[in-house]
Structure 1
């Protein structure tokens, strides 16, 4: 193959050198971006992974991205200036990493700060105990110099060193002690061996592990084993350096007692010295192209876990160099020419682009190379999006709207199709040795017989396949086609086309058929997807910033990982994590939280060797896997090459520490993980830290606060920003809480690094037991008081309501009385009106009987007078005239009485009281009824005393007597009428009118004798026809004059009129009508 490769180069390839790139990325930290001062006096790394720096302005802790400074503001030291770091206990859990479980930072006033697990505290016992032990050996504090590093600036300044101590082994009680050219070895403080070694200066001694070495000016290294020394042999990368071969003495040794590491620096190259058991060293090139002299580097520390090199400068600050795990191959040309896309493996060391470029690494030198295939360059100089190598090894590629078919050697064109009327070729695929499937932009799916150079394109499928992006086969009879609007499956034998449910509207960017015939997809805005059983589409969550929303394709490295290039970097994902996620069933894992298990995506960015984080896609194929193990990915600037087996994932699996607590803006000093807080705090801020030298985007941090007695559920976890690894609460209710902080450690079944704090919030005074009792008693008393108050309030309200009800009742009763009175008045008025109507009707009847009849008689009599006069019957005429005169006089009197009575009924009567002679009044009334009495054959006698007088209304009294005498005269036939008077003992006058004849009915007697007033008498009685109008008038007028009117009956009817008093007759004047 190598011969063929050289032959092809000679025949049709022109070549040029691909540009090489630096092997590391560098970040420099100074006082302007994190350091308190630019002079580094020592570098040490603890067992957690924190890097400690000694400076002239304090102790600095570096977690990989941020610094924290310890000085007299937060440490009990007098001055901030330091002059070294010294190891105390090596980390035996990670040998060869250069980490110390315990170190000490020495400040200028001989104050020792203990550095352990990310913390820095003053230790006042360690150094005095160490001095006491040295004194027991007869060595004073100022009698020796302890080795710190090579080069040792302090030792060179001191000069004339008599005693020199080098810490060895795992603790500070293991050491080598040089004195007067004798070297003694102590283990656990006891001398184990000694030997003689004359030297001009002890500053070239150094220790790795428990072995002592000496660096000679010639560039050679001596290794000591007990009392013997041997010349160490160097092997490895440094032997390939021509400068070392010519000038080994030009090497500069860098050694640090803190890191237990040694390096050789030669002509801007840094080599590690890896000791072997036989005392020899294997060298490995670590850094190439960094000028130590220009940057005044005096301290070197290498972290093999993160592949970081930490350099301390005497004047230029702190440098962090990241060894590149990825290599970017670029070509000489424009930026557009370096933006590469599709590629195919060309041989074990190079790839072929659709434009005919061959880009790779020289297998002998490892240097990048670029070559060109002239046959391809002539027909396709600028379209590098689509290419395919079929099962026969021949090459298919597009040039926009043209399709070319080259032979396996890329020497000649087998066929050529122009598709100008259709569109660009977007995808090519072949199933075994079957037809070439072609996706044409805007036109759909076609197939072509690869064995027929004159074959014509045959369209397959429907118009829905016009926007094809990619293709692969699910089986020999099933072609999967990705489009802008979903994933389709074409059954080749039946040409049945169906869209996979769940992919509607999804832009499919790539389709991959990997192990176990699983179909994996990448989709725009969706990330990674899996076509599961029964065509179930399983989508996986995006990363926190959704970089995976722009995936280009998936590369299976066959080592258990997928590599997904995106527009924002490269992701590495464990396949088993994805499969575990896809098979997760909540009902099958009742102990798990009710959410999918967390997925860890390892993010790789440009500091690891890319020239840009933006990879290229929308090309087929978008990645190439070479037989030598390299994977090649196209980017916006060159091809990114890497071997998956050499990539050391820097996983964030370091511990989490509680760095600081601020309570009410004051730093709180605490020990342990239980914190008791006052009840009235206003602001508490928990600051956490975790060492991680990788990209901080890989830190997946979260926290949860759970009150005692509560169950932690998945929704309790809240994300944390790695750049602000803190939790803050303005207040919390009293009680006991668990503050949990966790970090996803890496690949595999989700495992977390956790940090747990117990927070005890003291109850406020009103939440204490005595306060509860007090409040309970107060509540009872308040309840009793409120109840009592409410009872009294109800009582007062009831009393008020009773008064109100009584008042309203009185008002209602008064109103009812008024209504009743009004009703009675209305009833009386009604009765009175009825009575008046009755009286009117009786008056009409009386007028008809007593006036109309006499008038008719007068009319008839008057008509007969002329006849009597003509007949000269004067006596009869005179008699008739007399009768007419009497009748008219009687009618006049009767009408006058009726009118007077009617006036009383209608208008009322104002009484005119006068003294009246009863006998005279009776005589006048008898004279009025004399003709009627004579006609009825009755006799009348007036037996009233002549001198008897009363005081009354003459007119009304006349009406009474008139009606009573009228009644007697009408109903007495052939009988007697007698009027008499008498005076009782009290001086009251009684007038009695008696008559024989027709008796009165019992109803009339009861009515006349009733004490009720006339208006209160039953109307039916008053309407009785047996009761004459005259009697009713007499009763009513008697009531008006306060005269007691009564009637009794034996064989005669007696009407009694009882007057209150009599008056003297003297001065009584006679009254006439």
Structure 2
């Protein structure tokens, strides 16, 4: 254990914590301090905002937030919301916070620090409206001070009063009171002296003996001590000065001139010192000369009974914050409005029309005089029985004429009372409900009726009674006032009229159709202000009728009347509170609207200041529909009737707190997590969900006066039309999701009255791009698209080229086919021509021969040469049979070639086929003395079409016999392997040989031409038989080979059967 710890372990821990307590905040109470005479008391506990009920320290930072030290966290209060910093949202071990104090480091004296549980050595820096853990804030800085280096380790450091150090009083030896300056100066208070250390230099000690360390306090940079005898000592350079208490505390009957019963509360963070005595709290301030001044700020509140441990007074807002160590936070709020009521029942305090009754009182139409004592400010009232008797119900019209007499409307009757209201002078029944009565500038009293129109009466000649002035259109009159001496403004339930009292004419004001006029206020002849049912405030001026936007809760839709104070502000009571509006703002809006400029932003930039009953009303519901409604008294007060009393106030003293504070970006919540916003740039993750931005605005007025709107702009600047309202009860902005990209979130707040009096907060929001949204992805995609387009174009070009080639091929094929077809047609024509020629030769010649021979028969018969005739007959028979066979063969060919008859391939016995055909030519062969030999094996078969092969064999035999005379014809068959003329050694051959007349070279070439070279055209010297041989051999796939040596050899070559 070190020497420091051995002296006083418990106090040593306290010293480590209290080292942060450097304090006094100059200037907070330099503003004028005034008493909170009437107040609203609000208590906050763990049931309505606080995390725990022990408030041990209260401090206000320079941004306007109030900070509370509790056993369960450091709490920030912005006037409407509590936010707790604890170990769940900060990286600290313990949530217990014991004090909030100024930094001990001189250069950051405006920065507040909060210390957590003793011994943890954890500190939270309060700056820019948020608290963060500060690991660099070193407690050890105090131990480097000269006083500590001298060995005075058991030194306590001031943390304000009261203090938890009271329990350690018996052990106190030294008490350090830090100053707020650039040098880290501090006082060391001992039991017999006080020593100032400045710039680490020890000044001469000032002798001062005391046993009460905890009565030292600072005001500014001046050290004071409040002694038990009631004397206050001020410490100067080398001496002390004894001061006496002056001011309001001397009026307290419990004050005995000593400290007896007096408790001192010192808020060293905000440089505020208070004295408490007998339920009265006083501010202690520097006085002139040899005294200290006390000023009462609140009475009738028992601080001791509520265990108040810390006090902070917000002077501009007249709010007193009281921290209790057992009961949470109490907030006492000044009520600037005073409500005057009588002790009578509820209905008795329902007020409408009123008229001034002296300097400090009014007379209501119900016969009650209400006012306040000029000196004591206490409410005073008086009943007028004569008035009360006659006017129990109709309270909506009263006036005082130039003679001081009192006129009151009473249903369908008009009553006249004397100036004191004690005697009824006269009364007139008009036969219709009186709606309003009004005293004009010329002294006449104008009376508006429900059905009969506009009447008047002259108070100086009242005996004549009310007279009809004008009835046309003027029904359901709701308000009457003067525009000029000769022009009245008459409001009705259906519009506004100007009435000329000289010409007795009325002019309807265009733009007020179907408008229920509630009240009219003439500021100037060209600036006439109207309140109308549902439409709120309207201006009748040089630009016609201008209707102003309603407030955000539409309370102004039920505005009653307009009263202007001396500072150019309108006070407008409504059914739900009271409004204060700057007239110049409305005129500026009207001028902008008349010029046709965009008004979207102007609508939201009109500031209407709102007051509710927390400010002193007994109800938010003011009364209207009466004349007069608002009343300006000679004592400076404005008086408005309400459902519970008359509301009085002095406009200059009731301006209200304006929301002029900054906008602080507090935290962002998304995906069920919360993160502090430490800079003006927020980076969100991919595809964030349920995104909520929370903001804080330090403002201690009504939340209805917080007017905030936002605009979310993606990659651009905001426009006037982009603003959206934000709920003032919860200043947050919610997005269910945010897509990728860069955003700017604009938050706009009205700071109060005046043109362009706004604060705009900008938050840059960055949401990462999805992979397909990144630049490199887009680049790759672009390149792929370009490549795809390129490949597609190439594919299309290739396809087109391919199609072109196919088309070209097709065209070429078609052309070739056409050419072939044409060639075939030409060939067929030639063939047909040749066939005809051959037929003419091969058929007509035999017929001519038969004809010539047959003519010889008759001659031979006459000669008796019957043998010759028989021979000729046989020749004719043979010739006709040959012609018949020729024609048959030709027809068979035509069927196969022209008509496409199907070939019938089957095994054919060659020897039988040849011998069958030879029988046809036997006689002819004998006639030509030709020898025919057949050498065909008996078992030799070929696979072919019998009919077509028979035609070939027939024609080959016919040609052999025809061109051979006295010769030899040989018909042989066998295997092609026996021949040298073939390439296929496995096929069969059939050869017809003769030694007759040889073939011409043309015929020889025709017969040997390859079958694949196309259909053979008949040569000019080829007979029909030769043509059929060649063509039919092609049809039945038999190769034909002709050789010619000493003999002519026709080979039929059959391929091996498959």
Flag the 1:489–1:805 CA change in 2: closer, same or farther, 3 A. farther
Contact 2:285–2:293 (8 Å) recurs in 1: yes
Contact 1:375–1:410 (8 Å) recurs in 2: yes
Distance 1:611 1:712 in 2: 44
- Runs of at least 5 residues in structure 1 that lack an aligned partner in the other structure: 1-20, 94-98, 813-914, 924-944, 953-985, 987-1059, 1061-1073
Q: Cα deviations across residues 174-212 of structure 1 (Å, max 9, x unaligned)?
A: 332202321122345444553111111111111111122
Contact 2:154–2:173 (8 Å) recurs in 1: yes
Are 1:699 and 2:706 matched, yes or no?
A: yes
1:144 paired residue among 152, 155, 166? 155
Contact 1:151–1:298 (8 Å) recurs in 2: yes
Are 1:356 and 2:376 matched, yes or no?
A: no
Contact 2:450–2:476 (8 Å) recurs in 1: yes
Contact 2:687–2:739 (8 Å) recurs in 1: no
Task: After TM superposition, list the pairs within 5 Å mapping 1:129-140 onto structure 2.
Answer: 130-134=141-145, 137-138=148-149
Distance 2:467 2:334 in 1: 53
| 1:527 equivalent in structure 2 | 536
| 2:71 equivalent in structure 1 | 56
| 2:60 equivalent in structure 1 | 45
| 2:635 equivalent in structure 1 | 628
Say which SS state the counterpart of residue 305 (structure 2) adopts.
Answer: helix
Distance 1:586 1:430 in 2: 34
Contact 2:87–2:93 (8 Å) recurs in 1: yes
| 2:354 equivalent in structure 1 | 343
Task: After TM superposition, list the pairs within 5 Å mapping 1:634-713 onto structure 2.
Answer: 634-668=641-675, 671-682=678-689, 684-708=691-715, 710-713=716-719
Cα offset, 1:917, TM superposition: 15
Cα offset, 1:328, TM superposition: 1.2
Contact 2:687–2:740 (8 Å) recurs in 1: no
Contact 2:494–2:514 (8 Å) recurs in 1: yes
| 1:110 equivalent in structure 2 | 121
Q: Cα deviations across residues 101-134 of structure 1 (Å, max 9, x unaligned)?
A: 4343444313111112211112233333522432
| 2:264 equivalent in structure 1 | 253
| 1:432 equivalent in structure 2 | 441
| 2:294 equivalent in structure 1 | 283
Contact 1:551–1:565 (8 Å) recurs in 2: yes
Are 1:507 and 2:516 matched, yes or no?
A: yes
Task: After TM superposition, list the pairs within 5 Å mapping 1:942-981 onto structure 2.
Answer: none
Distance 2:459 2:728 in 1: 55
| 1:303 equivalent in structure 2 | 314
Number of aligned positions between the proteins? 808
Contact 2:245–2:291 (8 Å) recurs in 1: yes
Contact 1:100–1:258 (8 Å) recurs in 2: no
| 2:81 equivalent in structure 1 | 66
Contact 1:675–1:759 (8 Å) recurs in 2: yes
Cα offset, 1:306, TM superposition: 1.6
Are 1:238 and 2:246 matched, yes or no?
A: no
Are 1:603 and 2:610 matched, yes or no?
A: yes
Flag the 1:406–1:599 CA change in 2: closer, same or farther, 3 A. same
1:161 paired residue among 167, 172, 180? 172
Are 1:441 and 2:447 matched, yes or no?
A: no
Cα offset, 1:628, TM superposition: 1.2
Flag the 1:228–1:784 CA change in 2: closer, same or farther, 3 A. same
Cα offset, 1:276, TM superposition: 2.9
| 1:777 equivalent in structure 2 | 783
Say which SS state the counterpart of residue 149 (structure 2) adopts.
Answer: coil
Cα offset, 1:321, TM superposition: 1.2
RMSD, matched Cα = 3.8
Distance 2:312 2:359 in 1: 37
Q: Cα deviations across residues 303-338 of structure 1 (Å, max 9, x unaligned)?
A: 012211111001001111111111111211221111
| 2:565 equivalent in structure 1 | 557
2:100 paired residue among 85, 94, 109? 85
Say which SS state the counterpart of residue 573 (structure 2) adopts.
Answer: strand
Distance 2:707 2:812 in 1: 82
Say which SS state the counterpart of residue 242 (structure 1) adopts.
Answer: coil
Distance 2:656 2:633 in 1: 21
Of stretches 730-739 and 546-555 in structure 1, the one that deviates more from structure 2 is 730-739
Contact 1:529–1:540 (8 Å) recurs in 2: yes
| 1:582 equivalent in structure 2 | 590
Flag the 1:799–1:544 CA change in 2: closer, same or farther, 3 A. farther
Contact 1:149–1:254 (8 Å) recurs in 2: yes
Distance 1:180 1:565 in 2: 62
Cα offset, 1:553, TM superposition: 0.7
Flag the 1:273–1:215 CA change in 2: closer, same or farther, 3 A. same
Cα offset, 1:525, TM superposition: 1.0
1:493 paired residue among 502, 515, 524? 502
Cα offset, 1:92, TM superposition: 13
Are 1:753 and 2:797 matched, yes or no?
A: no
Normalising by structure 2, report the TM-score. 0.70
Distance 1:317 1:687 in 2: 25
Flag the 1:762–1:332 CA change in 2: closer, same or farther, 3 A. same
Task: After TM superposition, list the pairs within 5 Å mapping 1:205-244 onto structure 2.
Answer: 205-244=216-255
Distance 2:747 2:151 in 1: 48
Cα offset, 1:162, TM superposition: 0.5
Say which SS state the counterpart of residue 541 (structure 1) adopts.
Answer: coil
Flag the 1:100–1:331 CA change in 2: closer, same or farther, 3 A. farther
Distance 2:541 2:104 in 1: 54
Q: Cα deviations across residues 949-971 of structure 1 (Å, max 9, x unaligned)?
A: 9999xxxxxxxxxxxxxxxxxxx
Say which SS state the counterpart of residue 584 (structure 1) adopts.
Answer: helix
| 1:829 equivalent in structure 2 | none
Say which SS state the counterpart of residue 790 (structure 2) adopts.
Answer: helix
| 1:422 equivalent in structure 2 | 432
Flag the 1:648–1:91 CA change in 2: closer, same or farther, 3 A. farther
Contact 2:551–2:608 (8 Å) recurs in 1: yes
Cα offset, 1:679, TM superposition: 5.0
Say which SS state the counterpart of residue 48 (structure 1) adopts.
Answer: coil
Flag the 1:514–1:285 CA change in 2: closer, same or farther, 3 A. farther
Are 1:571 and 2:579 matched, yes or no?
A: yes
Say which SS state the counterpart of residue 150 (structure 1) adopts.
Answer: coil
Of stretches 616-625 and 726-735 in structure 1, the one that deviates more from structure 2 is 726-735
Q: Cα deviations across residues 240-294 of structure 1 (Å, max 9, x unaligned)?
A: 3333379873332222212211222222222222323546333333222222222
Contact 1:414–1:453 (8 Å) recurs in 2: no
Distance 2:810 2:625 in 1: 94
Distance 1:141 1:339 in 2: 70
Contact 1:46–1:103 (8 Å) recurs in 2: no
2:345 paired residue among 334, 338, 343? 334
Of stretches 129-138 and 345-354 in structure 1, the one that deviates more from structure 2 is 129-138
Contact 2:106–2:180 (8 Å) recurs in 1: no
Flag the 1:277–1:71 CA change in 2: closer, same or farther, 3 A. farther
Distance 1:585 1:353 in 2: 40
Say which SS state the counterpart of residue 577 (structure 1) adopts.
Answer: helix
Contact 2:228–2:258 (8 Å) recurs in 1: no
Are 1:726 and 2:732 matched, yes or no?
A: yes
Say which SS state the counterpart of residue 617 (structure 1) adopts.
Answer: coil
Distance 1:407 1:474 in 2: 29
Distance 1:687 1:578 in 2: 32
Contact 1:487–1:508 (8 Å) recurs in 2: yes
Flag the 1:267–1:770 CA change in 2: closer, same or farther, 3 A. same
Cα offset, 1:617, TM superposition: 1.0
Contact 1:328–1:638 (8 Å) recurs in 2: yes
Say which SS state the counterpart of residue 273 (structure 2) adopts.
Answer: strand
Contact 1:89–1:172 (8 Å) recurs in 2: no
Say which SS state the counterpart of residue 42 (structure 2) adopts.
Answer: strand
